[in-house]
Structure formats: structure tokens, C-alpha cells
Amino acid sequence: MKNKLIARIIAIILALVMFISIFAIVFEFLAGAASPKHAPVFISSSPQAQINKLREEKQELERAKREIQSRINDIEFERMSQVAQKEVLDDRIILTGREIESISEVIDLYELLIIDKELEVVAAQYRVREQLEIYKSRVRSMEENGIITYLEILFDSTSFSDLLARWDFIGDIMRADERLFMNLQAARDEVRAYEESLRLTKIELEQEKNHLYDRELELAEQLVHATELINQIMENLESEQALYDQVTEEAEKVQVEINRRVEEQRREEERRRLTEAQRVVGTGQLIWPVSGPVVSGFGVRRHPVFGVQRMHRGIDIAAAHGTSILAADTGTVIRSGFNSSYGNFIVVNHSNGMTTLYAHLNARLVDEGVRVNRGQLIGRVGSTGISTGPHLHFEVSFAGSRVNPLRYM
């Protein structure tokens, strides 16, 4: 009898200790809910990795721009010919354009990242609701039964060994309760972490948009500077004549090279005995490489100041800087390069006697030897070479001679 009384007293003391421990845990949970702590930021690895890579490329572009700006600031720049100066300015414009494209890609990735993080927050909030319902159910059960149930279990023990076994059973219940609480706490911490990560990502997105705005302003200033340089040449008849002669000479050189490469490709196709189905042949009907008005047509045009007539060997299509340029027809790229007249330019051979030329590009997106389909992206509009503002200079050659592109569009 005495041993049984001692066992009951010990059981009561242990039960009180456990009861106090449970309420201490609940109190800590409620205090934590009222004062959220900082949680680690979770990052979606794939878009973030792409963003980091683009940032590294941006640093390289900024380094290259600083080098070009140093050349512009050097006294040797003033001693260069105006055409040579324009080439240096073109290099700077091209790099700024690439920066804009890179920042635009980063912005697109950030917007995808924000969508991912918003979904993560919603999913984490759903897990909190699930864990909270489980925890509430357990707390209600504790309120209904509470310490009395634990005491009844212990008091019903018939021996000291039975008491220990029942104590282990109650311990398992309490550990399960503690796991429920810890799961709920972890779920709430996870929500805070995702919400903080989302907030920081939105801040970074706004910073990138500000960078984009700054680069676009910078590009506009650079284009004005480059255009002013060409206009200075045009204001002087002698300089303009020299420039026209240079442009004509380079255009003829390019046409000779086009004809040579077309012939080389034809001989290669004959050597390989390609069937008509195997050859990359255009349709002969061209699509517009960019959408925009023709601001200068094919043929003779008169100088606005001096009245001197000049031959324009293509058409100029107005388009914003960076606008996508599409292949006018299916064919093979036989030239992708740069010269002081055309700036960045691309030539496509359509293997039906026709070639198309795309000039003053800010970016060339295809290399020589690449087969392109009608409507495929091949470059972006710029103002490189002898150009007074962003537009596409588009030429068509048929049977080795330049013709009016509008006849085939």
C-alpha cells in the first residue's frame, strides 16, 4: 500500500512537470508568432543562375565601354578622320545596345523569378494552414482532456514497472505534440523566408528597370553624337563627295565579293551534286525584313543642300534602334561582317540568282555559312557605318547587279 502511494505521488509530480512544459512550448510559439524573426532567403536556382551569368557579361561590356571612352577622350581621336571617328563611336553604340539587350533579358528573368516566388509563398501559406489545423485539433483535444487524462493513465498503473511503461507512452504523446508544434513553426518560418525573398527580388527588379532607363538615355545621346558627326560631313560638298566616293567604292567591293562567294557556293553545290530539294533555295518573293516606312527609295536622289545627284543602291526602312531584322527569304549567309560604309552588315544568298543585304545593324546574330529560313531573326537595327540615325538599309542583287527591292516585296 505504501509503495503504491509513493508511485502515485511520483506520477503526479511528473505529470505536473510535463503539463508545465507543454504550456511553456505553446507560450513560446505564440510569442514567436507575434515577433517574427529574420529567415533565410530561398532562391530559385535556374533563373538566378542565368541572371548571375548576364551580370558577369554586363561587367565585361562596361569594361569594354570604358576602354572605348578612353580612346574617345584621347587626343589621337581628334586627329582621326571623321569616318574613323564614326567607327569608334559605332563601337560604343554597339556595346550600349548589347547592354540594353542584356538588362532586358535580366528584367524578363526577374519577372519569371517573381512569379516562381509568388507561387512558393502561396504553397508555403497553404502548408501553414494545414499544419495549423492539425495543431488546433490537437490543442482542442488537450483542452478537453488535459492533465487529468495523463494522471488517470498514471494512476491506473498496477506496479512500478507498469508506471514506467505508461510514462514512456505519455512521453511519446508529448514528443508527437512537440513535433506538431515544430512543424507549424517551421512552416511559418518558411512563409516569412519566401515573402522576404519575394520582397528583395522586386526591389532588384526595380533597380534593373532604372539601369535600363539610364542606358536608353545614354544610347540616345550617343546616337545624336554619331549623327551630328555625319551631318558635319554632309554640310561640306567636298567632304560629302569624298564620303560618297568612299561609300561607292566600298559598296562595289562588297558586290564583287558577293558575286565571288555566290559563284563559289554554286560550284560547291555542283561538286556535291546537290538535288534541288537538298539545296537551300529561296522562293523569290521577299517579305519585309522590318516593319516601317521607306524613308529613302532605290535610285538617284538629290543632295538637299547642293542639289548634287547621288545613286542610292537600296532602300532605307525606318525602325527603332534594336528592332528585330528578319531574313527576307530562305538562304545561306555568305557574309557577316563590318566595314566603314555599311557598318555591321549581313548578306544572304538565296541560290536562285538573288542575294539580300542588310546594313547599319547594331547586332549581327548569324555567322557566315549558316542556313536561315524565311522570317528568321538575323540581326537588330542600328546606326553603324555611314548612317544618320537608326534604320535598315536593304539591298537586293539579282544576277550580280543591284535591283530595286520593292519589285520583289
Mean pLDDT to the nearest integer, 21-29: 44
State yes or no: pLDDT of 409 exceeds 60. Answer: yes
**With pLDDT > 70 as the criterion, what percentage of the chain qualifies?**
70
User: Residue 260 is which amino acid?
Assistant: R
State yes or no: pLDDT of 324 exceeds 90. Answer: yes
String of DSSP letters for 53-80: HHHHHHHHHHHHHHHHHHHHHSHHHHHS
Q: What is the pLDDT of residue 370?
A: 92
State yes or no: pLDDT of 182 exceeds 70. Answer: yes
Q: What is the pLDDT of residue 323?
A: 92
State yes or no: pLDDT of 172 exceeds 70. Answer: no
Q: Which of 59-63, 244-248, 284-288, 297-301 has the highest mean pLDDT?
A: 284-288
Mean pLDDT of all residues belonging to the chain: 76
With cell 508511485, the residue in question is 7
Q: Which of 70-74, 96-100, 309-313, 324-328 has the highest mean pLDDT?
A: 324-328
State how far the Cα of 351 lies from the Cα of 274, in Å rounded to an integer. Answer: 12
| 273 plus 392 within the same structural domain | yes
Our measurement of the distance from residue 158's CA atom to the centroid of its chain's CA atoms, rounded to an integer in Å, reads 73
State yes or no: pLDDT of 248 exceeds 70. Answer: yes
| 225 plus 262 within the same structural domain | no
| Domain end (from 232, 257, 280) | 232
| 348 plus 394 within the same structural domain | yes
Mean pLDDT to the nearest integer, 2-31: 48
Contact 130, 221 (CB under 8 A): no
Q: How would residue 74 be classed by pLDDT, with cut points 50, 70 and 90?
A: confident
Written as nine digits, the cell of 286 is 521577299
pTM: 0.61
Q: What is the pLDDT of residue 22?
A: 45
Q: Which of 20-24, 71-75, 102-106 has the highest mean pLDDT?
A: 102-106
| 293 plus 201 within the same structural domain | no
Could you tell me which residue, 189 or 279, shows the higher pLDDT? 189
Q: What is the pLDDT of residue 68?
A: 79
Mean pLDDT to the nearest integer, 29-39: 39
| 380 plus 271 within the same structural domain | yes
3-state secondary structure of 27: helix
Task: Please tell me what DSSP assigns to residue 407.
Answer: G
| 226 plus 267 within the same structural domain | no
| 213 plus 190 within the same structural domain | yes
State how far the Cα of 74 lies from the Cα of 79, in Å rounded to an integer. Answer: 10
pLDDT per residue over 360-370, tens digit each?
A: 999 999 999 99
pLDDT per residue over 194-238, tens digit each?
A: 888 888 888 888 888 898 888 889 888 888 888 888 777 666 655
pLDDT per residue over 131-160, tens digit each?
A: 777 767 766 665 555 544 555 555 566 665
Q: How would residue 335 be classed by pLDDT, with cut points 50, 70 and 90?
A: very high
pLDDT per residue over 91-134, tens digit each?
A: 888 888 888 888 888 888 888 888 888 888 888 888 778 777 77
CATH of the domain at 283: 2.70.70.10
Q: What is the pLDDT of residue 40?
A: 37
| 226 plus 337 within the same structural domain | no
| 226 plus 248 within the same structural domain | no
State how far the Cα of 354 lies from the Cα of 337, in Å rounded to an integer. Answer: 19
**With pLDDT > 90 as the criterion, what percentage of the chain qualifies?**
20
Q: What is the pLDDT of residue 46?
A: 75
| 164 plus 183 within the same structural domain | yes
Q: How would residue 39 be classed by pLDDT, with cut points 50, 70 and 90?
A: very low
How many residues comprise the chain? 409
Smallest Cα–Cα separation from 172: which of 140, 150, 145?
150
Burial annotation 8-20 (CB, 10 A radius, 16+ → b, else e): eeebeebbeebbe
Written as nine digits, the cell of 206 is 526595380
| Domain end (from 206, 232, 258) | 232
Contact 328, 317 (CB under 8 A): no
| 296 plus 203 within the same structural domain | no
Give the total number of structural domains in the chain.
2
Smallest Cα–Cα separation from 370: which of 380, 359, 362, 378?
378
Q: What is the pLDDT of residue 101?
A: 86
- Domain extent for 184: 2-232
| Domain end (from 232, 260, 287) | 232
| 296 plus 166 within the same structural domain | no
